[in-house]
Amino acid sequence: MRRYNKQQQISASFGKDMRIIIKDLYLDNMMSSIEIVDYIKQNTQIDITARSIQRLLKGMGITRSVKNAFNNAIKRNRVHWQYKELKYKRIRLSSKLRYKILKRDNFKCVLCGNTAKTNILEVDHIIPISKGGSSDDDNLRTSCNACNKGKQYNEDCKK
């Protein structure tokens, strides 16, 4: 009596080569190796491992990109994905408001007195938006790039 290996038994059950069956299930039906194992078990009562499916696919040079695998997992509800909502809504300062603040502060840094001729001037939030500040005139001031960066470092050290 002749013994058949699992690959031959699966091929005989489906009427075509097992490698073609697995390739079709993996690429056309977008099944994972675990789903292919379940499909074969359901239709043939033959136990194989997901790792053997993965080895077979790798041997045939068939792989999915990480992006495709992740998107497939989302479609099949194996992974739940949603974008994070921003903690703070940041509204861009309009050019008009920016100019108004610069003009109010005489186009000088209120911290060190640098002008636009010597440094880049920025409109800075006194109380950062992340700490509950707003983009109102009272919470905005003109500062040079160096002072604005230095302010960030000093505030971080005070925590």
pLDDT tens for residues 85-117? 766 667 788 899 999 999 999 999 988 888 888
45-86 pLDDT, tens digit each: 888 999 999 999 999 998 888 888 888 888 888 787 777 776
**Helical segments of the chain, H only:** 6-14, 18-27, 33-44, 50-59, 66-75, 95-104, 145-158
DSSP structure class, residue 115: B
Q: What type of residue sits at position 17?
A: D
Determine if the pTM surpasses 0.85. no
Write down all domains in the chain, each with its CATH number in brackets: 6-75 (no CATH), 95-158 (3.40.1800)
Q: Are 121 and 107 in contact (CB under 8 A)?
A: yes
CA 14 to chain centre: 40
